[in-house]
A and B are shown apart, each in its own frame.
Chain A
């Protein structure tokens, strides 16, 4: 790598880096720092800021609602990651094993990724609305009582399904690409040895594409915490009784419906720390389990 570093003009380097650095500083780092600062205030719109020290954090720590929101978010993100990757793995594997028409299936699966999250939530609401949903009466024919406006766990599941559905395409693209890189010879050897498809998938392919899987776990975690906002906003608004009140939605509501900016900043700080820790943990774990190299 060091043989590539042929240019040494530092001034040039600085200038070329400038746009990235400036934008990062001004629009990414600075607001974050301010968020931490703002979290020590009680701030609203058109009312003047009041310094309150750690009170916002104290309020968070003692709010059972908020702690519940944290648990729900973690659980939700975990389910999203597991759900998405399991489904995507199956689909990618199927596409890999199919000889003809791979492109068609791939394109078909990409749709949800192109779909704006707001539309996804809206469409699901339309389909599964407890009263006027299109499929509701058919689902109820199976004996399932569709009432996810009042039933917390059910609401959780419905939003989860919408979230997983949306993200599968993104994962399939990566996994298919990765599977496509697996040497043909490996597949042939496995087949000749009479290894069943499932075992081939789990014992051979998965370890080989583990770098991609690690990457996807991280991206899916970010998605599970942040990317699912629109779905909650459109389908359940955090309800019922906070069953789908994931942190990002709770944050949005505190900031832009209740205008409690200081409190919302405290929540962002907590969210940032939580996700940061989670991803750090994932990095460390991946070092142990992933298989890099030839």
Chain B
């Protein structure tokens, strides 16, 4: 949570401190991975922070330490947990207990350059919705010489997860890890094949611009400098992208994440939640409970949403924003939220819950490079990917 997101967060914390007289200290890390390392080693050594913000990808790993207290136990009895968006809480609820407190949640959406579309003769009001449309739009953009490439996105496993969930396909078995220990990655299906064939074709024809592994900033830069006309990234960047587009002199807009072939189930959840270690004294727990409740307040959620782009997770917050006309004035901020509420809730849209998250993440990301560069054939690559993921899962769980 750096930069302006960090500033917004700090603002909320300061507000909490002034309202409740409880001391709260934020310690920033450079990435979610950094927070995870520090958290796990803190738990290992016994020197724990009171609350830590963990990305949803690493939730299972933290849970596996058996050292966290379900946040439900810290919230006051009449706290309106039902007011939270159900798609959100369902991910963080295990065995009917809310284990961590959702805070900043997001999903991935498609940003596109309206000015570039117009220049290439494409209708800026009807952005592409399927892989095929993305491809043909890209082809037009490049052929007309408007941009160097059609589309870019950071090579992070989150996007592969989105492609799967939007297509209603679970990425792993055991309902993406929510119904037991996952053992394999589902690659023997049309989702995987269509995705990677498309990805390879795009890369081959110079329509896809590869910014690097987990290269969020580089992907955004590629889009903002006009090298690519479309960008897939988190809704959390909407504020930054809007002002970046302004600076670079083009009109930007966003749309739902593209589907594989037209059928849309829903996005996976992204973003993080607050975890609390177990074994803290009661008084501390009470303080932490207040903190969590404060962060989950509709007012806090509204402030947070407006400052960042993460969607608000309280129903009442959403209603308030609608009544205030915020969404009408800032349609780009609702896209991710709409994508969420219009989604079906199936195992496929629940983000995977796995222990060896980083290993599987790295495996998928690395193999994706080989697949879209054409170093292996799609069939070969997919089966290699499958067995590599199986190895990681096997090793962790055995």
Chain A residues with CB under 8 Å of chain B are 45-47, 129-132, 147, 149-151, 237, 239-242, 253, 256-259
Contact = CB atoms under 8 A, between A and B. Distances in A.
Interface in B152-179: 152
B222 interface: yes
B356 A45 contact: no
A150 B369 contact: yes
Contacts of A147: 210
A46 B369 contact: no
Interface string B368-384: 01101101000000000
Nearest to B149: A131
Given A240-B369, A241-B375, A257-B362, A46 B210 contact: no
Contact of A132 (B33, B218, B369): B218
B213 A131 contact: no
B213 A132 contact: no
B64 A131 contact: no
A150 B210 contact: yes
B44 interface: yes
Nearest to A149: B210
Contacts of B203: 150
Contacts of A256: 37
Interface residues of B, number: 34
Given A46-B65, A132-B227, A240 B373 contact: yes
B51 interface: no
A286 B222 CA distance: 50
A129 B370 contact: no
Given A45-B44, A131-B209, A131-B218, 10 more contacts: A45-B43, A46-B64, A131-B210, A131-B211, A131-B222, A149-B210, A237-B214, A239-B213, A239-B369, A259-B40
Interface string B347-375: 00000000010110010001001101101
A149 B152 CA distance: 14
Nearest to A152: B375
A132 B149 CA distance: 12
Interface-central residue, A131, A132, A149, A253, by most chain B CB under 10 Å: A131
A239 B37 CA distance: 22
B212 interface: yes
A131 to B, nearest CB: 5
A257 B33 contact: yes
Contacts of B65: 45-47
A199 B213 CA distance: 48
B221 interface: yes
B225 interface: yes
